[in-house]
Structure 1
Amino acid sequence: MKTPDKKSALSEIDGINQPDTLSIHAVQQIQKLRKKQPSAKELIDGILKHDKVALSRAITLVESTNPEHLSKANEVINGVLPNANKSVRIGITGVPGVGKSTFIEAFGKHLTSLGKKVAVLAVDPSSTISHGSILGDKTRMEELVKDENAFIRPSASGETLGGVARKTRESIILCEACGFDTIIIETVGVGQSETAVHSMVDFFLLLKISGAGDELQGIKRGIMEMADAIVINKADGDNINKAKLAKTEFNRALHLFPAKKSGWIPTASTCSSYTKEGINEVWNTISDYLELAKSNHYFQEKRKDQNQFWMMETINEQLKSNFYNHPEIIELIEQNKKAVQNDEMSPFAAAVSLLEKYFK
């Protein structure tokens, strides 16, 4: 009697053939949908209906560096503009590690509990080497991101000066038109970004932590001079007494600055994003400021000045973009770079020759 062949344990047993897992029809449908871009009117209608998907797509459009998208982005902005400018814009900054994202989540959840609709525009730093950005703010604000009355949009800072995303100003307008009445702009906290954010918000909040050795540095001009309030974060556990001491030191420093045009006197306070202690007081401070600024018309005048400032900034940005994308300049700039590197031409003479060629 012949012994049957012993099959390997790794052999496949004959059975029902599985159908192809990849449907060509499904792939074609997906590709078709991806290629289809909504028109400017569709984006405008979606934003005015408070559609977050339309808002996200519109922000992507205005952030695009593709010259072909510029006119469409401007059409969307102009289309929603009559429905914008009805929010409170709050800028929040602080050094890395101060707990900006944790604070914004606690603060944002407090605002939504009061019936506010909150949009967070978080600017993440881009690597100067790989030019990439983590964009991890949604991960760090896991509770706020699930809130129906909240919208979080992280954007890479790119090559813009100081780390403020190039189109943050336009993104604010889009969020306002989409029905968000409180806009929070988080900066990367690396210097000149604060100046740019200060020029697009109504209230500028500076986050600090105690024990960092900078309490007495408060007398220095700069960001302290721009702040409408200082909040010492992480005032919990063993850190409470240190935070109270820092609060006293900062309040002393704030009195050394000249009075603000708004008539507002900045103050320092403490809070804990972990225990939520002091979060309500932060909103009360902002509310008091808004009441004062609107009553003496400073709020409206500041908005007008900001609009004028951003018009000039847009002109400067567009001129710079046109210069570097000019066909003849692209070719000549490489030649001049080599001439400068080889000491055949001074950097200033090289720049002047390029500008003269561009303006001919």
Structure 2
Amino acid sequence: MEIADLATRVAAGDRRALARAITLVESGRADHRAQALDLIAQLAVSGAEALRIGLSGTPGVGKSTFIESFGLMLTGAGLRVAVLAVDPSSARTGGSILGDKTRMEHLSRDPQAFIRPSPAQSHLGGVARRTREAIALCEAAGYDVILIETVGVGQSETVVAEMSDLFVLLLAPAGGDELQGVKRGIMEIADLIVVNKADGDLRDTARRTCADYAGALRLLRKRPEDPEDFPKAMMASALDRTGLDTVWQEVQALAAWRRSHGHFARRRAEQARHWFEEEVRQGLLARLREEPAARDRMQELGDAVAQGTAAPGPAAREVLSWLRQG
């Protein structure tokens, strides 16, 4: 594979080249990993920057419908939109359906849009481990807005905040105890809560639900990087395509405020540091799995812990001591 040629084609906005590049960064092969790092380094010099929006929501809330309607609105306004949709993986087989293009039929045919489903595999956080690098590739390809759809709601999904500029939480009307079920962690990172399906017979219910969430948000501690009226709750209907323009206006307003006050650039810098440290952690774990001596030592101590002849803490300390000596 000629990496320089691939980088040129990605930078020119070639969607097929972009898909090939993302496949490369998602590969687990060592030679592909080296090529992926080379590719990312070549594209990093472009300095292109997109608005990264993380989206999550409870199952059945209409994430795919919302993203398609929202994406079509953005492409209709002349923007290029990339959707990185993370599908849950089977804990038994490791497989994923990867059916997001089917669920976003109209957006997938839009020449101004790019949709890439990826398996979550075993990575916590509702986003694939290489999603961050896929974001960088989409930025280099010239996309203006990147929508990162996560697997579903849960505390581990707060990791999406480490790769997005804004976080939108989609919720359904008439959710009963849903407000109790949504973890506080994800509520605290949400910049906008959008009550979807605010149409037909559910419109009045959605209005009451929106008011409930707005009241809950007022109880949370204000964040220094937000203007006075954020985070906020609002209603929308992906089916009727109403309220989407208001959501976009609020997203733009918040992003502009954070840029003007220096929070945007500082957050990007913090994210870069976080992912540097994450790569170091993953590299150490890979060394434990791949080097025969380390793998054997891990197996030996793991067996001792399982049999009750060693405690987890001291056994882990012994492995770390062994690594320092190596």
Q: TM-score, normalized by length of structure 2? A: 0.94
2:166 is equivalent to residue 203 of structure 1: yes
In 2: Cα distance, 1:138 partner to 1:323 partner: 37
Query: Which residue number in structure 1 is paired with residue 136 of structure 2?
Result: 173
Larger deviation: 284-293 or 239-248? 284-293
2:290 is equivalent to residue 318 of structure 1: no
Shift of 1:268: 0.8
Query: Which residue number in structure 2 is paired with residue 117 of structure 1?
Result: 80
In 2: Cα distance, 1:295 partner to 1:338 partner: 55
2:260 is equivalent to residue 305 of structure 1: no
Shift of 1:128: 0.9
Query: Which residue number in structure 2 is paired with residue 340 of structure 1?
Result: 305
Query: Which residue number in structure 1 is paired with residue 188 of structure 2?
Result: 225
CA RMSD of aligned residues (A): 1.7
Q: Which amino acid in structure 2 is aligned with residue 316 of structure 1?
A: R
Q: 1:354 aligns with which of 310, 319, 324?
A: 319
CA gap 1:219/1:39 in 2 versus in 1, 3 angstroms: closer
In 2: Cα distance, 1:42 partner to 1:145 partner: 26
SS in structure 2 of the partner of residue 250 of structure 1: helix
Query: Which residue number in structure 2 is paired with residue 287 of structure 1?
Result: 252
Q: Which amino acid in structure 1 is aligned with residue 180 of structure 2?
A: Q
2:97 is equivalent to residue 134 of structure 1: yes
**1:252-267 equivalence runs, <5 A:** 252-264=215-227, 265-267=230-232
Shift of 1:40: 1.1
In 1: Cα distance, 2:12 partner to 2:133 partner: 18
2:21 is equivalent to residue 58 of structure 1: yes
Larger deviation: 160-169 or 187-196? 187-196
Query: Which residue number in structure 2 is paired with residue 34 of structure 1?
Result: none
Shift of 1:130: 1.0
In 2: Cα distance, 1:337 partner to 1:246 partner: 49
Shift of 1:41: 0.6
Structure 1, gaps ≥5 residues long: 1-37
In 2: Cα distance, 1:155 partner to 1:226 partner: 23
The CA deviation string for residues 172-225 of structure 1, in whole angstroms up to 9 with x for no partner, is 110011110100000001424421111111111000011112465399731111
CA gap 1:183/1:220 in 2 versus in 1, 3 angstroms: closer
Query: Which residue number in structure 2 is paired with residue 269 of structure 1?
Result: 234
CA gap 1:294/1:341 in 2 versus in 1, 3 angstroms: closer
The CA deviation string for residues 296-320 of structure 1, in whole angstroms up to 9 with x for no partner, is 1211121111112211111111111
Q: Which amino acid in structure 2 is aligned with residue 261 of structure 1?
A: P
Shift of 1:61: 0.9
Q: Over alpha carbons, which structure has the higher Rg?
A: 1
Shift of 1:48: 1.2
Q: Which amino acid in structure 2 is aligned with residue 309 of structure 1?
A: H
Larger deviation: 254-263 or 228-237? 254-263
Over the matched positions of the two proteins, sequence identity in percent amounts to 44
Q: 1:116·1:149 contact (CA, 8 Å) conserved in 2?
A: yes
Q: 2:148 aligns with which of 185, 198, 210?
A: 185
Q: 2:62 aligns with which of 76, 99, 115?
A: 99
Q: TM-score, normalized by length of structure 1? A: 0.85
Shift of 1:286: 0.6
Shift of 1:53: 1.2
Query: Which residue number in structure 1 is paired with residue 51 of structure 2?
Result: 88
- Paired positions, count: 323
2:104 is equivalent to residue 147 of structure 1: no
**1:22-61 equivalence runs, <5 A:** 38-61=1-24
Q: Which amino acid in structure 2 is aligned with residue 233 of structure 1?
A: N
SS in structure 2 of the partner of residue 158 of structure 1: coil
CA gap 1:54/1:216 in 2 versus in 1, 3 angstroms: closer
Shift of 1:113: 0.3
CA gap 1:220/1:72 in 2 versus in 1, 3 angstroms: closer
Shift of 1:132: 0.8
SS in structure 2 of the partner of residue 98 of structure 1: coil
Q: Which amino acid in structure 1 is aligned with residue 67 of structure 2?
A: I
Q: Which amino acid in structure 1 is aligned with residue 171 of structure 2?
A: K
Shift of 1:244: 0.3
The CA deviation string for residues 37-83 of structure 1, in whole angstroms up to 9 with x for no partner, is x2111111111111111111111111111112222111100100122
The CA deviation string for residues 139-163 of structure 1, in whole angstroms up to 9 with x for no partner, is 1001100000000001111121233
SS in structure 2 of the partner of residue 230 of structure 1: strand
Larger deviation: 169-178 or 299-308? 299-308
